[in-house]
């Protein structure tokens, strides 16, 4: 059986526009972030539309579980839905430093996602048939992800 190979898809840069806390729910502390941002790669580039959000969960074990729905608009005006979920975990000291405006080194925490795409037939419909994985780096203003197609 062959190993898993990947191919760079795009870089995604996100910014939090606003957020609303649902407080402590039965699953953990839930926060809903409205997102803005841009993406760029060799086969597609563009910006997020206003319907993009992260239903971020701070779990009881202290880790974070992003649950993200994005609407991408490519620079040639095609819309692509993206769903990604994953985990962000590390020592509390990392999250405390982020809250103070510092940028911890990505080697100090774990931030990985699995992504799925949905779009109409045409130029980008190949996205409907792939899975992507992403690794992220958290900055005080928001995360930056490198998405890779799983071949």
Beta-carbon contacts of residue 145 (< 8 Å; ≥ 6 apart): 11, 12, 14, 113, 134, 135, 136, 137
Q: How confident is the model at residue 112 (pLDDT cuts 50, 70, 90)?
A: very high
b/e code 50-86 from CB counts within 10 Å (16+ = b) = eebbbebbbeeeeebbbebebbbebeeebebbbebeb
pTM: 0.92
In degrees, to the nearest 5, what angle opens at C-alpha 33 toward C-alphas 72 and 118? 30
Domains and CATH numbers, the chain: 6-150 (2.40.160.20)
Section 98-121 average pLDDT: 94
Per-residue confidence (pLDDT) for residue 140, from 0 to 100: 83
């Amino acid at each position: 059986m062959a190993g898993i190979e990947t191919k760079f898809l795009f870089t995604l840069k996100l910014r939090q526009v606003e957020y609303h806390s649902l407080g402590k729910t039965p699953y953990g502390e839930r926060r809903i972030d409205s997102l803005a941002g841009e993406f760029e790669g060799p086969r597609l580039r563009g910006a997020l539309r206003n319907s993009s959000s992260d239903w971020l969960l701070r779990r009881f074990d202290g880790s974070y579980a992003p649950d993200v729905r994005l609407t991408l608009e490519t620079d040639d005006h095609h819309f692509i839905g993206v769903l990604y979920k994953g985990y962000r975990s590390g020592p509390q000291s990392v999250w405390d430093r982020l809250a103070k405006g510092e940028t911890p080194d990505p080697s100090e925490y774990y931030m990985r996602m699995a992504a799925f795409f949905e779009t109409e037939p045409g130029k980008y419909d190949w996205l409907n048939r792939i899975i992507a994985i992403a690794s992220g780096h958290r900055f005080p203003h928001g995360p930056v992800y490198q998405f890779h197609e799983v071949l």
